[in-house]
Amino acid sequence: MKENPRFFPGKNIAMKIPPHQYAETVRFYRDVLGFKQIKTFEPGIVFKFGEKNLWLDKVATISQAEIWLEIITDDIATAEKKLESENVVRCDEIEELPKGFQGYWVSSPASIVHLVCQEAESL
């Protein structure tokens, strides 16, 4: 295990959107801006966003949109210890990850949710 893990921006940005704003948000990125749709899933859609992927997720339990970011690390176990030692808030209950996935959810001091995952695990 390394003493200090390295962190990198991931390739994914997720926008969690309440149902009453979802259709118009999809229309904005698809029809107004003309972004290329690369994937559809339930309950959402993914657009190419430069070198990133923009995931638009419809979430029934929120009242306003949220931005979630992906952070990649070269050592998930050391990263977990580092973030814990820095009092970074874990919020794994916010959204279930696939079984066996090497990652977890944290929150920045500004309440921005981040998925921290091993390089090879990026969604």
Instruction: Name residue, tokens 């559809």.
Output: 40
The whole-number pLDDT of residue 59 equals: 95
Q: What percent of the chain has pLDDT over 70?
A: 95
Rounded Cα distance, 94 and 113, in Å:
9
Per-residue pLDDT of 67-92, as tens digits, reads 999 999 999 999 999 999 999 999 99
Q: What is the mean pLDDT of residues 22-40?
A: 95
Q: Say if 112 falls within a structural domain.
A: yes
Q: Which domain holds residue 49?
A: 7-121
Q: Is residue 119 predicted with pLDDT exceeding 90?
A: no
Which residues, including other chains, have CB under 8 Å from residue 95's CB and lie 6 or more apart? 105
- The number of distinct structural domains making up the chain is 1
Q: Confidence class of residue 100 from pLDDT cuts 50, 70 and 90?
A: very high
Q: Say if 108 falls within a structural domain.
A: yes
Q: Say if 69 falls within a structural domain.
A: yes
Q: What is the CATH number of the domain that holds 96?
A: 3.10.180.10
Q: Say if 19 falls within a structural domain.
A: yes
Q: Say if 2 falls within a structural domain.
A: no
Q: Confidence class of residue 43 from pLDDT cuts 50, 70 and 90?
A: confident
